[in-house]
Amino acid sequence: MDYLNEAVKSIAECIRFDSSQQKKAPGAPFGKGAAECLDHFLALAERLGFETHNYDGYAGEALFGEGEEFAILCHLDVVPAGSGWEKDPFGGLVEGGKIWGRGAMDDKGPAICALYAMKALKDEGFLPKKKIKLIVGCNEEDGWACIEHYKAVAHMPETGFSPDADFPVIYAEKGILHVKLRFPAKEVPFKLLQGGTSANMVCDACEALPNVRDEKRATALGLVFEGEKLVSRGKSAHGSTPEKGRNAMLPLLKYFEENEDVRRIIEYLFDDVYGLKKFSDETGPLTLSPDIIQSGKGEIAVVCDIRYPATMSADGVHEKLRAFGVPYETVHHQEPLLVEKDDPLVQTLLHVYEKCTGEKAQPVAIGGGTYARALRHGVAFGPEMEDDEAVIHQPNEYITVERVKLLLEIYREAIRELTK
């Protein structure tokens, strides 16, 4: 059966839950929106005929088959909507051949497609020789407490894939290091400076209350005064690809760069005077994205998203950070993922991709981090393609209906090949 229309409808419904990190509530460790989205997804899986489990609002799963376990790891939480939207970020609008909203591509759309791919296999009488666990977490974007809880109360399979990155197949992911640097700043030329909403999302809005109002300088830097407040607008992007966004923090800092403490931040984090960004390997160069800034109590704190090459040790990054001479703390760290390109899991998924698209391809590496690294033996597989418009963690996120159709086919074939 063709489940395209049902999948499109279900993706739109799932988008309508604001499942970004919110205040903890009973039964909702990551906020009401995430908990309701998880309940909705599991109820859909039950209606489609699958056994489900809800692990205390942290994560859930839909099961199919018996035998050795195999994981498909997705997430239902999203980054905050941010600014610059032309559509309702939680409207789930289907228009112009696209499903619009936060999470459409990352990662609600792929999660729904994987579920309906399992349903299509079930309907055709396919009996997997493995127990497929479609696991959906609610804290992927902000710490992975969902995965930690799942591992504590359930059993995580050793092998699987995560439909939360790029095609044709991801064999390597950079290490992820989020740090909070505390720059001393006792005599600053402003009463307040703040910006950014998420550690892995390029800062798209930053504001300050300057001691001196300089309209000419503000205009030259592309800033605007809104009453007493000086505002900088940028463009959000995924923290792993800061070059695809426009960091609103930098123009605002440049307004105050005559101040030595502010200039130090610009030099260290944007001008890279210590050469932190020189590290590189086949997975690409180290990237650093200053994503959250907050002044107060004699300091300016900046949370940075660092993605370091898969063959590099985190110790090398810390060595460079210590050379800054600026106090800092590690907020979050994930080791890199690296699977050999000729590994059977990689090659099977590559074959499926080529079969479904007719395109010859090679495994690739990314700076993003996926649930695949929660597995002993895992890789990421879709949903993005090389020529796609960058929409993840950006305003006006969408997934096309045509991509949904292709994902249903690709994930059905991938699940069949890996569990037969």
Catalytic residue among 18, 77, 142, 397: 77
How do residues 194-224 score in pLDDT, each as one tens digit?
999 999 999 999 999 999 999 999 999 999 9
The burial of 377, by beta-carbon neighbours within 10 Å (0-12 exposed, 13-18 middle, 19 or more buried), is given as middle
Q: Cα(108)–Cα(131) distance, rounded to whole angstroms?
A: 22
How do residues 331-374 score in pLDDT, each as one tens digit?
999 999 999 999 999 999 999 999 999 999 999 998 878 999 99
In this predicted structure, what is the pLDDT of residue 85?
96
Query: Which are the contacts of 342, defined by CB distance < 8 A and separation ≥ 6?
Result: none
Q: Cα(128)–Cα(132) distance, rounded to whole angstroms?
A: 8
Catalytic residue among 61, 106, 140, 384: 140
Q: Cα(151)–Cα(133) distance, rounded to whole angstroms?
A: 13
Q: Decide if domain 175-332 falls under CATH 3.30.360.10.
A: no
Q: What topology does CATH give the domain 4-172+336-419?
A: Aminopeptidase (3.40.630)
In this predicted structure, what is the pLDDT of residue 251?
98
> ω into residue 107 within 30 of 0, thus cis?
yes
Active site residue 77: yes
The ranges of the chain with pLDDT < 70 are 1
Query: Which are the contacts of 271, defined by CB distance < 8 A and separation ≥ 6?
Result: none
In whole angstroms, what separates CA 50 from the centre of its chain? 27
DSSP symbol at 28 = B
Distances (CA, A) of 414 to 45, 68, 99, 360: 19, 17, 24, 16
Query: Which are the contacts of 157, defined by CB distance < 8 A and separation ≥ 6?
Result: 68, 69, 70, 71, 133, 375
The identity of residue 290, as a single letter, is P
Active site residue 106: no
Q: What is the dihedral of CA 22, 23, 24, 29, to 10 degrees?
A: 10
Q: Where are the domains of the chain?
A: 4-172+336-419, 175-332
